[in-house]
Chains A and B, each alone.
Chain A
Amino acid sequence: MAEWCAVTGIGQTKHGARRGDVSIAGLVREAATRALEDAEMTWRDIEAMVIGKAPDMFEGVMMPELYLADALGAVGKPIIRVHTAGSVGGSTAVVATHLIHSGVHERVLTLAFEKQSESDTMWALSSRLPFAPPIVAGAGGYFAPHVRAYIRRSGAPAHVGMEVAVKDRLNALRNPYAHLHMEGINLEMVAASPMLWDPIRYLEACPSSDGACAMVLTNEANAGRAPKPPAWVLGTAMRSEPVMAYGRDQVNPQAGRDCAADVYREAGITNPRKDIDVAEIYVPFSWYEPMWLENLGFASQNEGWKLVDDGVTAFAGEMPINPSGGVLSSNPIGASGMLRFAEAAMQVRGQAGEHQINDAKVALGHAYGGGSQYFAMWVVGSEKP
Chain B
Amino acid sequence: MQDVAVVSFAQSTSFAPDPLRNEVELLLPVMNEAVERSGIPKKEIGFTVSGSCDYLAGAPFSFVSALDAVGAWPPIIESHVEMDGAWALYEAWVRLQVSDIDSALVYAFGKSSIGDTNEILTLQHDPYYVAPLWPDPVSIAALQARALLESDGYSESDLANIVARSHKSAMSNSSAQRTSETSVEQLLSAPYTVSPLREHDCPPVSDGAAAVVLATGDLARRISERPAWIAGIDHRIDSHSLGARDLTSSPSAALAARNAGANQGPVDVAELHAQFSHEELILRRAIGLDNGTAFNPSGGPLCANPIMATGLIRIGEAASRIMDGSASRAVAHASSGPCLQQNLVCVLEARDG
Contact = CB atoms under 8 A, between A and B. Distances in A.
B238 A75 contact: yes
Q: Please report whether the interface of chain B is mostly helix, strand, loop or mixed according to DSSP.
A: mixed
Given A62-B123, A74-B237, A78-B234, A254 B100 contact: no
A80 interface: yes
A254 B76 CA distance: 10
A291 interface: no
Given A57-B54, A84-B80, A242-B70, A118 B127 contact: yes
B57 A130 contact: yes
A81 interface: yes
A228 interface: no
B126 to A, nearest CB: 5
Contacts of A130: 22, 57-59, 114
A63 B336 contact: yes
Interface in B45-62: 53-55, 57-61
A98 B90 CA distance: 12
Interface stretch (A28-36, A100-108, A158-166, A311-319): A100-108
A234 interface: no
A124 B22 CA distance: 20
Q: Please report whether the interface of chain A is mostly helix, strand, loop or mixed according to DSSP.
A: loop
Nearest to B90: A80
B214 interface: no
A262 B54 CA distance: 29
A63 B22 CA distance: 22
A192 interface: no
A99 B79 CA distance: 14
Interface of A: 1-2, 23-24, 54-63, 65-70, 74-85, 91, 94-95, 98-99, 101-104, 118, 124-125, 127-132, 237-245, 248, 253-255, 258-259, 262, 370-371, 373-374
Given A67-B124, A248-B73, 5 more contacts: A61-B131, A63-B53, A70-B241, A130-B57, A241-B72
Interface of B: 1, 22, 53-55, 57-61, 63-65, 67-68, 70-83, 87, 90-91, 94-95, 97-100, 114, 120-121, 123-128, 131, 234-241, 251-252, 255, 336-338, 341-342
24 contacts: A57-B55, A62-B55, A63-B82, A66-B124, A66-B341, A67-B126, A69-B238, A69-B342, A74-B237, A75-B238, A76-B252, A81-B82, A81-B83, A82-B79, A98-B97, A98-B98, A124-B60, A129-B57, A130-B57, A130-B114, A238-B78, A238-B79, A240-B75, A255-B75
